[in-house]
Amino acid sequence: MSGIEVAVNGVRFRPLAGAAALGPAGAPDLAIPLALQPEIDGEVLRVAITGPALGTPSKAEAPGAVSEDSTPAKRWNSAVTGIDPGLAQGLEEWRRLDLSRYSEPYGQTWWPKTIYSVKGDFWFTAHWVMEESEGTRWKATNESNHGTEPFPAALQVVYEPDTAGNYLPPHEVLELRFARNLWEVVPLPRQQPSEYRDFLTKSVFVDSWGGQPASALKHFLEVLKAISRGKQSYYTVLQNWEVGGWDALLPDSMWLPGHPPNPSVGSVQELRELCELGKTMGRLSFRTNYRILRDYSPSYRRGLAHFALGADGKPVDYLRAADWLPVAKRGDEEIAKQFAPNACFTDQMTSGAAPWSWHDWAVEGGSRSMRQTLGHQQALARSMKATFGGPLGSETLSDQHLLGEFVDTGDFGVQDGHHRLFSPEFKLRRLQHLSGFNGIGLMYRFYEMPPFQRFHSGTTTFGNDDAQLDDYRCCELLYGNGGYVCHDFANWRYYLTECLLVGHLQQYYSGQPVQAVRYWHNDAWVTLEDLVRQGTVPNIVPWNPPTKEYGRIRVEYANGFTLVVNRLDDEFTVDDTEADPIVLPRSGWVAWTKDGNLHACSAYWPETRHRVDYLTDDNAGLVYLDPRGQQLLGVSAITLWDHDRVVVTADTDHNTVTVEGQTLQLDLPSPPSPSSLDFQFDDGLDGWRPVRGMLTAEVRAGSLVLKTGAPGVFVVSPALRLDATKIPAVEVRMKIRADGAKPGGLYFATEQSPSFWSDKLVNFEVTADGEWHTYRLNVSANPKWQGTITGLRLDPLRGATEAEVEVDWVRAAGS
């Protein structure tokens, strides 16, 4: 391998000089024999590499293999801990691009790169084939994207032992590509496109996260169905419905009869009705997660699920690969039996980017090679799709080996994209054909990096901020992704435009092949290749200065559809739209077709500096306008015309939409917020919602009775409007039966600080003896207890997994 020499465009160099196996200390060791099988497959040089099995040295030759020194491959008496690709020598000046789905979501530079030779004016790549790798993971030893010194053209492949110290015999395939054209050296994914591609490219993704009652979710879907008038399909995911609340008893979503769906969302019958409605709009799925494992889940307690082992032999927090199929099959079959959805969704399958996030280092039944674990993921995906007879979705889609054939769709995440500039070109040229994807990630993640502190502290502002939402949609379109309704993270104005404008517009671009992508540089549109030739080394690292050329991008599709986006502060005029020039503000965009029949934009209305969202499609006879508060085309409200007839108008300020003459409320009316604190639970839950840890919640004999099955149990009050100065203390009367109960807590939210955060918490000791006790909480001692109190969160106890809690009342107490 080290001896491979390549001549391209007058440059002769060695791409893998010094390549060798890694010995026990992790350093290259040329004495370890590697058996090579090089072959030229079209424009690709493939090198299959096998290493010696661990054991006593012998003269046994691996069948058909030729070693590095032309002698038979041998057994070896010390561990082979990896393969080092050596260094590319003889290139002189070089530049590199981070072109992969792996690197994109977080702006990471330790993934496979694409290399440009300045002297030779050519491109090349050296990529390991993950599907054939017995390695545990990849490792970058040089992340620089420009230089003149020798550098590693490929990543290191690291082999790690199982918990007994056993190593797998090395087996790798390295593919090298060389060409004058950039996109001839970036490999295509091996998997096939999704069989549901045609449906998904035309569908808006409704991602329902809020955990609202089924009645509210049903109303939301009914409004979407009404405004679409049978002309828009949807892929809907019910995210927060599981037993005990969000992720409480994973990997189980329910296990009847003792572990029903989250009582705050709805009963089995209510969810069944919701599912039937979703299926009339396209496809609906129930979220699952078959990666995380809780030791109090039914699957664990019944011996069906076991923890994977880490490299150190200690249990990790996720399910071992050997259990994925039986655990998923049981859970999926119960969901299918109870609800009969026609699609499926599983969390975290694609959010780790590479299979090593799922590895199990156990001796028996473990899976610690990329090939093995990827194969387990593929098998799980096939099983889920077969059970439900529909597409499989997952979140973030950081992976590029499962998308399409295995994971059909999902939200296409770019973390903190709002503060970054980036290129969509890898997605458009290498993933676009695989399926229809949506959005630009779960919405709050587009505005900050993990650990998402603003989101978790309740201080995000994007939900009603046009500037932030405009940037999200701008990037969604830039990536060729379809409409995304992230319920309930945005607002009805945004949802309406996603469904009625983006949902229609995506019929022209989602899944369609791209002809050219160009970047605004020195007052001209240039290709990425030309940018690099002219000296630009694009940056993707979020905290480094952005590449300004990524701020204005033009995408031309093979079908004649063109899109231009402007993500820079300065206005940008586009004057070749087959119509009047369009002025784009920041996060503005304009799209058109070559025949002039389609125009759409989020831009200034002609001869004004007032931004609108607009679409006109002569092919379909449709016109859509959100005038954003101005009087335009005779209307001041969101309006859809069908062949010159008004069919939809929405007055979001007054919570109404009118479809074909029928007026609907956009949201169900909320009950009045109590201005006094006195909840007796005589006739029902009084608006309190069991959010976390509950198996059941019911009112019995004038008390709220909670049966818990997970730690961290809490209930949340309805929206309140309490004068903090009039309530110095809160009293709670409860009866608790539990072992190992720890102190409870009362969180509160205010108009100035609307989240349940630890700075607005009053702890209290509890007595879990099955008798009634009254707890007096001196809330006024907390300095944040001031102004208007807008909500309470009661954690009746902590620590115990199984408990029964009865709450007689929650009320204000005097001083």
Q: What is the 3-state secondary structure (H, E, C) of 476-492?
A: HHHCCCECEEEECCCCH
| Predicted TM-score (pTM) above 0.75 | yes
Residues sharing a CB contact under 8 Å with residue 231, sequence separation 6 or more, in sequence order: 504
Across the range 291-319, mean pLDDT stands at 97
Tell me, what DSSP letter sits at residue 192? P
Q: What are the phi and psi torsion angles at 553 (to 5°)? A: -135, 140
User: Does residue 734 contact residue 706 with C-beta atoms inside 8 Å?
Assistant: no
| Closest by Cα among 464, 462, 353 to 418 | 462
Confidence of residue 77 (pLDDT cuts 50, 70, 90): low
CB atoms within 10 A of CB 301: 13
Q: Tell me the CA end-to-end span of the chain in Å, nearest whole number.
A: 82
CA neighbor of 33 nearest in space, from 81, 67, 56: 67
| Across 65-79, 230-244, 619-633, least confident range | 65-79
- Residue 472 CA to residue 441 CA, distance in Å, equals 9
Cβ proximity of 766 and 720 under 8 Å:
no
pLDDT tens-digit readout, 187-221: 999 999 999 999 999 999 999 998 899 999 999 99
Would you say 565 and 589 are in contact if contact means Cβ atoms under 8 Å apart? yes
123 band by pLDDT with thresholds 50, 70 and 90: very high
Asked whether the predicted pLDDT for residue 614 surpasses 80, the reply is yes
pLDDT 10s digits, 791-807: 999 999 998 999 999 99
Q: Kindly state which CATH superfamily the domain 678-813 is placed in.
A: Galactose-binding domain-like (2.60.120.260)
411: nearest Cα among 207, 221, 275, 234: 207
Question: Running DSSP on this structure, what letter comes out for residue 168?
Answer: P
Which residues is 714 bridged to in the sheet?
692
What's the confidence (pLDDT) of residue 68?
39
DSSP state of 429: I
Q: How much is the pLDDT for 76?
A: 57
Residue 580 reports pLDDT greater than 80: yes
Element (H, E) at 336: helix 321-339
The pLDDT of residue 64: 34
Between 513 and 53, the higher pLDDT residue = 513
Contact indicator for 199, 231 with CB cutoff of 8 Å = no
**743 within 8 A of 764, measured Cβ to Cβ:** yes
Read off the pLDDT of residues 688-739 as tens digits, 9 standing for 90 and up: 999 999 999 999 999 999 999 999 999 999 999 999 999 999 999 999 999 9
pLDDT of residue 223: 99
Quick: pLDDT tens for 546-571.
999 999 999 999 999 999 999 999 99
> Where are the chain's structural domains?
6-184, 197-214+225-411, 678-813
Write the single-letter amino acid at 718: P
Residues facing 645 on adjacent strands: 642
**pLDDT per residue over 761-783, tens digit each?**
999 999 999 999 999 999 999 99
The single residue listed with the structure tokens 């007058």 is: 10
Query: Nearest 10 degrees: CA dihedral of 521, 526, 530, 534?
Result: -20
Question: How high is the pLDDT of residue 57?
Answer: 40
- Of 620 and 578, which is predicted with more confidence? 620
Strands 344-346 and 392-394: parallel
Q: What is the DSSP string of 490-516?
A: S-HHHHHHIIIIIHHHGGGTTTPPEEE
- pLDDT exceeds 80 at position 582: yes
Share of the chain above pLDDT 70, in %: 97
Whole-angstrom CA distances from 568 to 496, 526, 546, 607 are 26, 17, 11, 21
User: Average pLDDT for residues 573-577, to the nearest whole number?
Assistant: 95
User: How many whole angstroms separate alpha carbon 492 and alpha carbon 499?
Assistant: 10
**Rounded mean pLDDT of 333-359?**
97
Residue 69 binned pLDDT confidence (cut-offs 50, 70, 90):
very low
| Nearest in space to 121 (alpha carbons), one of 270, 8, 213, 243 | 8
How far apart are alpha carbons 363 and 385 in whole angstroms? 30
The residues, any chain, with a CB within 8 Å of residue 500's CB and separated by 6 or more, are: 227, 228, 232, 624, 640, 648
- In the chain, pLDDT over 90 holds for what percent of residues? 91
- The pLDDT value given to residue 65: 37
Query: What is the average pLDDT across 241-263?
Result: 96
The packing angle between helices 321-339 and 268-280, to 10°, is 80
**What is the CATH T-level fold of the domain 197-214+225-411, as seen in this structure?**
TIM Barrel (3.20.20)
Considering the chain, what is the average pLDDT of its residues? 95
Q: Is 747 helix (H, G, I), strand (E, B) or coil?
A: strand
The pLDDT score that the predictor gives to residue 51 is 85
Instruction: Give the strand pairing for 6-8 and 11-17.
Output: antiparallel
The answer for residues whose C-beta is within 8 angstroms of residue 762's C-beta and 6 or more apart is 730, 745, 746, 748, 777, 778, 779, 781, 782
398-422 burial, b for 16+ CB within 10 Å, e for fewer? Answer: bbbbbbbbbbbbbbbbbbbbbebbb
232 falls in which pLDDT band (50, 70, 90)? very high
The pLDDT of residue 587 = 99
Q: How far apart are CA 299 and CA 115, in angstroms?
A: 48
pLDDT at residue 730, rounded to an integer: 98
C-alpha–C-alpha distance, residues 704 and 712, integer Å? 18
What is residue 303's three-state secondary structure? Answer: coil
Question: For residue 66, what pLDDT is reported?
Answer: 34
CA 779 and chain centroid, separation: 39
For the chain, what is the largest distance between any 2 Cα atoms, rounded to a whole number of angstroms?
90
As given in the structure block, the two tokens for residue 57 are: 């040295």
**The pLDDT value given to residue 74:** 46
Please report the pLDDT score of residue 458 as a whole number.
83
Burial of 10: CB neighbours in 10 Å, binned 0-12, 13-18, 19+: exposed
Tell me the C-alpha distance between 522 and 524, whole Å: 6
What's the mean pLDDT in 341-356? 96
Q: Could you tell me which of 710, 695, 720 has the C-alpha nearest to residue 791?
A: 720
Q: Which residue carries 């620590």 as its tokens?
A: 799
Which pLDDT value is given to residue 367? 97
Instruction: State which amino acid sits at residue 534.
Output: Q
Question: What pLDDT is recorded for position 56?
Answer: 40
Amino acid letter for position 357: S
How many residues appear in the chain?
A: 815
Predicted local confidence at residue 815, as pLDDT: 62
Mean pLDDT of 48-69: 52
Q: Above 60 in pLDDT, residue 59?
A: no
Per-residue 3-state assignment (H helix, E strand, C coil) for 578-630:
CCCCEEECCCEEEEEECCCCEEEEEEECCCCCCEEEEEEECCCCEEEEECCCC
